[in-house]
Structure 1
């Protein structure tokens, strides 16, 4: 039943879509029977994918041979997700002119649901004959599940219409907020599981909305909590709260909760229309509507088989019936379960959804907004002298956001002329929310930058790894061209306290061996600004720019063009002619400062030693091609590093991932990589450099020793 409080909605601001119009039009044109039929069709296809090999319409009585030998997949979350998809479809079809409705799957286990929805919408392509609905396509959908080499059994971007890989547990609400930023035409509906509700990222995202007040003209977010009572292994924490407590919880967070169990379909449609009537832009301080759908997990599935209780237990999470092909009681339960959806009413003999079902399916959806054109990199090199200027210049072009966990001023980013932040810059003391906003913003075609302390960035490691998977799969389906994910990593541990020393994020990113990853390590502030400009103008990359916020030496600009295009370049002003005894290679500004000084010391103390100096601007180019698509080719690598010359390399990261990149090229002995090494106790910046062997004196001594040992 629905539990709401009627009130008169305040008028929507000018230019904000009248989403109640979509609800009114859908109510007039699409009957309740169509919504119910669409829900039954989605539920039937979800269950059929788990269990059937044939007889998808139940055109004849079910036989054991129609059932999979080993059922697999997730059932429990599908019915409430399907219920929402069936109700949102008509709203998408009747959305106001120029508007857009996006659904975000926070429940990653609803893979069968997403595949079923894509099939009914005609966007799935399974048999090689093009997307569309047909009996061969329908048979391929159920027989091939979980489609291990095509789609997978869970929510991924390989499935048409999916914009967030559900395995990235926690940030769906924040990503939805990021999608709505600067997009007043857009309504985003995240479907949030009550298990996901327990994560820190989701818990923070409810409150995070307040950080966006007055930050521009935004779209709307209508959160839907799938309060089905269970997470994977048992009752969810939300299930321990009665409805008064649930209402008080979300009311205290600044929302207007509308609670419904889904049993009264016309009542739910009216409640959804009420929510849309009250919908307001994300940045407004007024209370926002949200929906709490208390439909039980696994609803419409088997209640009980023999003496085993199924409904209301963790058994509904995956396959409620474990072996119906070989267990008579389970087979009978499966046959009754599937027959309860009356599939012959839902699908034609050609495998297409019937006219009744089609009335509730969404119409064509507008593509995410396109980004403005950015200046060419060569122009950026001339006109943007520092990082702050690059950020301000990019913001002036529009469709850009800067997110930071309360560290914009601390990171010395001058984004405004006074103490107030501009509307396009937002701070919230939560790394995960910043990432969620950045991910949602870029996923909808706009540029964004996350600026953070080096030591705190590793909080987002898991989110980034999962998003890399999402981007990789999206790219494979031909959906490339999205703006890059950009991290500005500063307040480096080399200058910071013991608790603020951790370069682990980029180590983890390099260890993924993902060709989309770029770890930029420019030698000075001018180079960092140019790199950032290129990052913000690019597509399909996940970029990390490591740069010190403190003033440092500036190096001759001549080699930088090659550093930017190739990822590394020889610095001729520090190099001898001819074949060197030793190659010195720096990556990052602090290593460049120390290693260039070490080169000068080495020239004075050992004038007989010939050196070649080079700087690496992107650590990813050290890996081998074709695995790393932007790698130095073998000829260039040999020209820089030689084939048997000793190399001393100084990096701002942990040395191990750099060694791994080189080892993949077969370079396991002549490269000596020096980088961050965890100190056992607090020390000074100078003491940390000494501890790691990265001071100029230590590097000079190390170089001389390498030559001596090699010649001896």
Structure 2
């Protein structure tokens, strides 16, 4: 079933939007259908061979038991539909418009064998990246899978060309949108599994496109839904819809679906060309095409074995034949299955794809150059976080994303109070993160501003994205713009339901060296920290700062706070010699409370020696072996003394900070106070009292620590 589409937007063509429709027509004319079919068979064969074969990589002789792996592992089911799209996109990539770029995102993370096969055939898989194929490299690809020390079994950036870790379930469509923002030359094709279609992130992303109307000149996204009928364990919800219902569903979301099962390859090539001719920029107002491929999961694999149904059941998800080494029926089925692709027609004795396959290949992919950090002209006075955001927005390659909270977070982005086109709001934290992820993954700077209480919604996405970035770094693709979160509307001043500083705790528990948790003491310091964040690379930065005007502290120590992560504040320290107590703050509200405590102690205990310091980056408290910014042993002692008690006030849950200190071996003499859930709505003052952060409670505790230490 195919749904026709309207013509491409003439205004987009006039603005220089790449003519993807002509590119699609050129690809169909230049590459024969037989080549695309051969490419698809080669991808399918290599995907299946990686699961089962230890030797005989080309099936150049009849299959033997000694050719098999002892324990087949990996995922087969999603590979054939993914391979079908990759085979059709190969010619398009090779014939794309001049100056354009085509990126494919694997929402289906289990298609690792497919991604590896694609990388091998396109000479992007080390050690074949030098531009050669070899039978030894082919044997390594097939026999070495899943090779956890090299590539693993799933879609990650360890595999060349991968820009989205498919296991990050849900955000592929919105990450693709983020990649297309401010990039008119770019077409992004996310491959979205029908199980993924059931996630909230994907469900919201269809509608999220409307939030981008009027926000600048963008590229385009061509979503492809792999409606293969099954999730991991059973039928997907999409599988229960008729063709008419699928059409109604996507039409209602503002898309025009093109539905095909892939059984007619020439017809699917025409369908794809039709979709390309109908593309509009991401912010286009009219219907956008979406390709819905209803190819069954595990297509081209075994249908039945020994009376057991395989096709159309969850058995196709991983290895359809569980033990062909010991089961004769499965061995025979495997031999027939692998031979059905006629692999010796697809791969030469030298391990090269055949001439027919090579006609459909896109060619070696080049890593586009990452945009360098923009120069921010710093003003003489960093009195306002908004000023830093506006200054960065004066240069290209920047976006601010916020879940409908720009005004609420008191960010002033324009003289008249309006929202400029480089700032986008949508009431969905996950979509904001995915847009930011896609934008930074393609070399641009971005900032996500959100309430402290709602930021933890993105915890799982952040954990998965950190894993993606770590693997990207391991694959030699570092030097990306940092992931930057501005966390404000703090729970200390908010209602009970809006009190949750848990994201900082979750990020610290990861012990990921790229994470930095900034807790500056005032707005001037927060602005300077934000400026540094926006020029940093390969970090995941969280800035915790109160949106309300507060106390400003002398700027003198701030250079050390910014460069070393912590500094002594002489104006709040008093007495001589070894301190009886160290007062340490992190965050603006704790700094305000503890500064008042220091003044009170000076009044009532003038003979005491108090050292006051502020911690700008919480990660400096952890051990140097884990945290790159950690204080050295000597610097730690210079700040906190050797054996005196330390009263440390933080804006987060205290447990995560205690864990940092415990890992350094410094838990005993540190007394950490931070947010404690009051259990019911309460006033701001009562919350500080409950958490032990009111001045009277802090003063009493400080006095008790001093007396205990002297005894």
CA distance in 2, matches of 1:426, 1:275: 27
Match of 2:265 in 1: 265
Q: Aligned in 2, Cα 1:555/1:445: closer, same or farther, shift over 3 Å?
A: same
Measured against aligned partners, the alpha-carbon deviations of 1:262-289 in whole angstroms (never above 9, x if no partner) come to: 0110000000000000000001111001
Match of 2:666 in 1: 667
Q: Secondary structure at the match of 1:382?
A: coil
CA distance in 1, matches of 2:7, 2:522: 58
Q: Secondary structure at the match of 2:292?
A: strand
Match of 1:613 in 2: 612
> Which piece of structure 1 moves more, 648-657 or 359-368?
359-368
Match of 2:625 in 1: 626
Match of 1:402 among 394, 400, 403: 400
Shift of 1:52: 0.6
Measured against aligned partners, the alpha-carbon deviations of 1:543-564 in whole angstroms (never above 9, x if no partner) come to: 0000000000000001101111
Measured against aligned partners, the alpha-carbon deviations of 1:645-683 in whole angstroms (never above 9, x if no partner) come to: 211100000111111111111112011111111111110
- How high is the TM-score relative to the length of structure 2? 0.98
Measured against aligned partners, the alpha-carbon deviations of 1:300-338 in whole angstroms (never above 9, x if no partner) come to: 000000111000000000010000011100000000000
Match of 1:467 in 2: 465
CA distance in 2, matches of 1:471, 1:335: 39
Q: Do residues 65 (structure 1) and 66 (structure 2) align? A: yes
Match of 1:509 among 507, 517, 526: 507
Query: 1:547-696, aligned counterparts within 5 Å?
Result: 547-576=545-574, 577-696=576-695
Match of 2:42 in 1: 41
Q: Aligned in 2, Cα 1:43/1:687: closer, same or farther, shift over 3 Å?
A: same
CA distance in 2, matches of 1:323, 1:137: 26
Match of 2:317 in 1: 317
Count of residues in correspondence between the two structures: 708
Structure 1, unaligned runs of 5 or more: none
Query: 1:264-413, aligned counterparts within 5 Å?
Result: 264-365=264-365, 367-368=367-368, 370-371=370-371, 373-375=373-375, 380=378, 382=380, 384-413=382-411
Measured against aligned partners, the alpha-carbon deviations of 1:513-569 in whole angstroms (never above 9, x if no partner) come to: 000000000000000000000000111000000000000000000110111111111
Residues 182, 217 of structure 1: 8 Å contact kept:
yes
Query: 1:209-228, aligned counterparts within 5 Å?
Result: 209-228=209-228
Structure 2, unaligned runs of 5 or more: none
Measured against aligned partners, the alpha-carbon deviations of 1:138-185 in whole angstroms (never above 9, x if no partner) come to: 111112211111111111111100000111100000000000000000
Residues 52, 72 of structure 2: 8 Å contact kept:
yes
Residues 692, 698 of structure 2: 8 Å contact kept:
yes
Shift of 1:125: 1.4
Match of 1:482 in 2: 480
Q: Secondary structure at the match of 1:362?
A: coil
Match of 1:88 in 2: 89
Residues 157, 468 of structure 2: 8 Å contact kept:
yes
Q: Secondary structure at the match of 1:190?
A: strand
Q: Aligned in 2, Cα 1:269/1:125: closer, same or farther, shift over 3 Å?
A: same
> Which piece of structure 1 moves more, 141-150 or 506-515?
141-150
Match of 2:18 in 1: 17
Shift of 1:384: 3.8
CA distance in 2, matches of 1:638, 1:462: 36
Match of 2:105 in 1: 104
**Runs of 4+ with >6 A deviation:** none
Shift of 1:363: 2.7
CA distance in 2, matches of 1:643, 1:437: 47
Match of 1:428 among 426, 437, 442: 426
CA distance in 1, matches of 2:166, 2:682: 42
Q: Secondary structure at the match of 2:36?
A: helix
CA distance in 1, matches of 2:360, 2:482: 36
Q: Secondary structure at the match of 1:455?
A: coil
Q: Secondary structure at the match of 1:489?
A: strand
Q: Do residues 456 (structure 1) and 457 (structure 2) align? A: no
CA distance in 2, matches of 1:700, 1:362: 69
Match of 1:142 in 2: 142
Residues 451, 488 of structure 1: 8 Å contact kept:
yes
Q: Secondary structure at the match of 2:141?
A: helix
CA-based RMSD of the aligned residues comes to 1.3
Shift of 1:472: 0.7
CA distance in 1, matches of 2:5, 2:456: 45
Shift of 1:21: 2.0
CA distance in 2, matches of 1:284, 1:364: 32
- How high is the TM-score relative to the length of structure 1? 0.98
